[in-house]
Structure 1
Amino acid sequence: MTERLVDHAHYLLDIRENNAIVVYSDQLSKQIPRSYAANAFNVFREAMHQIEMVRLIALWDQPHVDNETIPSVIEFVDDDEVIQALADAARAMYGGAPEPMDPNETAEEREITLRVLKEINAKRGEEHANSAVEGLRKAVAEARAVKSSPQLKSIRNLRNKHVAHYLTQSNAEKNGEIIAPMKVGDEKSVLEASLRIIELLYCWVNGVGISFQDSQKVDKKCAEELWTNCKFDIAGRSKPRAKMLK
């Protein structure tokens, strides 16, 4: 499930870097004058923004055994026995045989070297296990905070009322909860927190370190290569009709 979270996050970052240009910059919009084409561009831009919100909130849908979401993984992980088992697995990474010793050493020297290496590995293993516990606890705490944050609630409410469904009131609003309208930028903090949490979970559940920073750079480069080479030449409504037809 954590592997799938990484896949979902990568796709979301692809969308995010495209939207950084399409939605949040004037690189394209400044090329399009008041025209029928502007209407089409606005629809396209809004759809791009909405799919980012949909994919972001999908990472935070309710926990279920079949839901590949952050809350689903958190519910599995947030257990003392599970965290201890994952810490033991992290510790065991340093429990293997020490590095080969110098064949020219005497038996006594080999024994001393072996003992020192075992002590070093044991210390590293304990540090790694402690880091696992700390990382997992941090992921759980941050996930709980994001789940109850006003930013996430605002984005979810937008998704539920105006994107996924057409509702007069969302279920949360029917239950008396007052949810502020989503503000531009709310998604940024939620996305950044989501990436941090997924990195921690993947590191200590799967035993593999990951950083989304490099992939973000690649996604940005791909988006820039497309959109910086995308040029519009559209006649505005203010231009004479004959010139527009020409």
Structure 2
Amino acid sequence: MIAPVHDKSKEAVFSRAEQNYVEQLRRRPVDERIDLAEQKVRGLWDYIIDVCKTHENNRVISRSDRLAGQVPASHAAHALKNLQRGLLHYEIIRLAALWDGPRADRLSIPTIIAIVADRPVLKALYRRRFLSRRIEEAKLADDLEEGAARAFVVRAPREARHTTRTGFHRDMRDGLALGIRTMNAKDRLAVAGFRDRNIAHNLALDPVSLRLAQVDRLLRTTTVVGNGLYGMILRSGFAIEDSRRYARRCTESLWGNCTMGAIDY
């Protein structure tokens, strides 16, 4: 059995245009929706990794004194401040975009959730995952001796169902349930509000505040949700921690070898 993803009281609130897109999706064949979800979740990870790379650069440029400690009060300090603000704003813009509402031309988490958060699609994804595992086990059985192969074939279906169900429910929890909660979460709304009101538009309104801790929490949640969706749809995990370590290594390689010359104006 596939457990319900969420209850009605925890559904994300979409605009009328976004809701129309969701309703159009529901009328498309299940296999077509799965193909679309596969395309979008692969593309989504390029953007998640880009945000992680920017986050690592911000860790040095905007959140430490690695560069700021080398720049005295001078004209150069104004340029550095502008660089810090611009890079931090870019991280916020790209992170917020990962959570923009569902639309046909968007690679966002809510768009992917809108595609797959429907019982017929979830059942089809589960069947694909189970079939994929059985195919792998059949290949393994071919390599065993006859007696061991017979015992394996008898035992495997029950274990395969349990393992597949456990893994699928874990990915649903991380990808769908957490993703839907995050759409309405304070951190997500704060990041989106800061992007819309302080960066994206020149509004004659008081700016809203945003804490860096909110950005950090949303980025961590984004990687968990993205990994859950990736596993649920493509039946494998994404090596996000390896990607983040590589991004940090690249950042350290650049800024660790960057030394300012004398600044006297």
Matched, 1:229 2:265: no
Contact conserved, 1:152 with 1:190, CA < 8 A, in 2?
yes
- Give 1:169 deviation, angstroms: 4.8
The separation in 1 between residues aligned to 2:155 and 2:205, in whole angstroms, is: 60
* 1:44-73 CA-partner distances (Å, limit 9, x unpaired): 110000000001001001111221000001
User: Mind listing any 5+ residue stretches in structure 1 that lack a counterpart?
Assistant: 103-109, 171-178, 238-246
What does residue 208 of structure 1 align with?
Answer: 236
Query: 1:99 aligned to 2:134?
Result: no
Paired residue for 1:129, among 153, 164, 167? 164
Q: Is residue 60 of structure 2 the alignment partner of residue 21 of structure 1? A: yes
| The one of 42, 45, 54 aligned to 2:93 | 54
- Does 2:180 correspond to 1:144? yes
Counterpart mapping for 1:71-82 below 5 A: 71-82=110-121
Helix, strand or coil: the match of 2:134? coil
Secondary structure class of the residue paired with 1:181: coil
Within 5 A, what are the aligned runs for 1:179-218? Answer: 181-218=209-246
RMSD, aligned CA: 1.9
State the secondary structure of the residue aligned to 1:185: helix
How does the TM-score come out when normalised to structure 2? Answer: 0.78
C-alpha contact 1:33 1:234 (8 A) present in aligned 2 = no
Q: CA deviation at 1:79?
A: 1.1
Equivalent pair of 1:92/1:125 in contact (CA under 8 Å):
no
Give the structure with the higher percent helix. 2
Query: Per-residue displacement from partner, 1:96-121 (whole Å, max 9, x unpaired)?
Result: 3322343xxxxxxx4x5444222333
Structure 2 residues not aligned, in runs of 5+: 1-39
- Find the partner of 1:6 among 36, 45, 52: 45
CA 1:101 to 1:45, structure 2 compared with 1: closer, same or farther past 3 Å?
A: closer
1:210, CA displacement in angstroms? 1.4
Counterpart of 1:68 (choices 67, 88, 107) is: 107
Distance 2:154 2:238 in 1: 28
Q: Is the 8 A contact 1:91 1:128 kept in 2?
A: no
Does residue 153 (structure 1) correspond to residue 189 (structure 2)? The answer is: yes
The answer as to 2:77 corresponding to 1:42 is no
Q: Give the TM-score of the pair, scaled to structure 1.
A: 0.84
Report which of the two structures shows the higher radius of gyration computed on alpha carbons.
Answer: 1
Aligned residues of 1:87 and 1:133 also touching (Cα < 8 A): no
Residue type at the aligned position of 1:167: L
1:81 and 1:169 map into 2 onto residues whose CA distance is: 45
